Amino acid sequence: MMHANGNPNTPPEGEQSLFRKILDGTSNAVDPSDRRAVLARQLRTQTDLDDAALDRLVRRFYSLARVDPDLGPIFNAQVADWEAHFARMVDFWASVSLLAGRYHRNALEAHRALRLRPEYFERWLGLFDQALQEEVSPPAREHLLTIARRIAANLSSRLCANAP
C-alpha cells in the first residue's frame, strides 16, 4: 500500500504510534524510574500482546514467508535452526513492541550481507500484515504494523540505498 508520503514502508502522515499515545497520556505523577514499566503494562493491556501471542504471530509469519517465492529462499538459506530463530524473533518483537528488553542484537548488521532489495521489504510487510490479521487483535495489529513499517523503512533506506 502506497502512503501519501510516497513510501509504502513508512506510516501514513499523522499516524501516531501507540507508544506515543500512551506516553502522552501517562500521568506526570508517575515516577520517571517507573515510567517504562507503566508504559509496558499499558501496551500489554491495550494490545493483548504477550509472548504466546507473539510466538503464534512469528510462527504464522514464517509459515507464509518460507514458501514465498521471493522471501522463502532468503530465509531458508539463512536460518539453520528454526526453533532458535522463532525464539529470537519473539524476543525481538517483545522488545520493540512491549519494551521487554530481551533482544540485544544489531538488526541492521544481521541483514547487511543479504543483498536485499526494496521490494523485499514491501513483500515482508504484506506477509507480516497478513499474519497480523490472522493472529492478533486490531489494536495489536495497528501497533505492530506501525513498528514494522518503521523497521522496513529504516532497513530499506540503509541497506538498499545503492540497489538497482
Domain extent listing, the chain: 49-159
pLDDT at 7 over 50: no
What CATH number does the domain located at 49-159 have? Answer: 1.10.490.10
pLDDT at 96: 93
CA-CA distance, 83 to 94, in Å (whole number)? 16
pLDDT at 130 over 60: yes
Q: How many CA atoms lie within 13 A of 1 on its CB side?
A: 12
- Mean pLDDT for 128-136 is 98
CA-CA distance, 85 to 76, in Å (whole number)? 11
- Mean pLDDT for 122-134 is 97
Chain mean pLDDT for the chain: 84
- Mean pLDDT for 115-128 is 92
At 27, the pLDDT band (50, 70, 90 cuts) reads low
pLDDT at 30: 53
Classify 150 as helix, strand or coil: helix
At 10, the pLDDT band (50, 70, 90 cuts) reads very low
CA-CA distance, 72 to 79, in Å (whole number)? 11
Residue with the three cell numbers 500489554:
44
- Mean pLDDT for 113-123 is 88
Whether the full predicted model's pTM is greater than 0.85, yes or no, is: no
- Cα-flanking dihedrals φ and ψ of residue 138, to 5°? -55, -40
- Mean pLDDT for 95-124 is 87
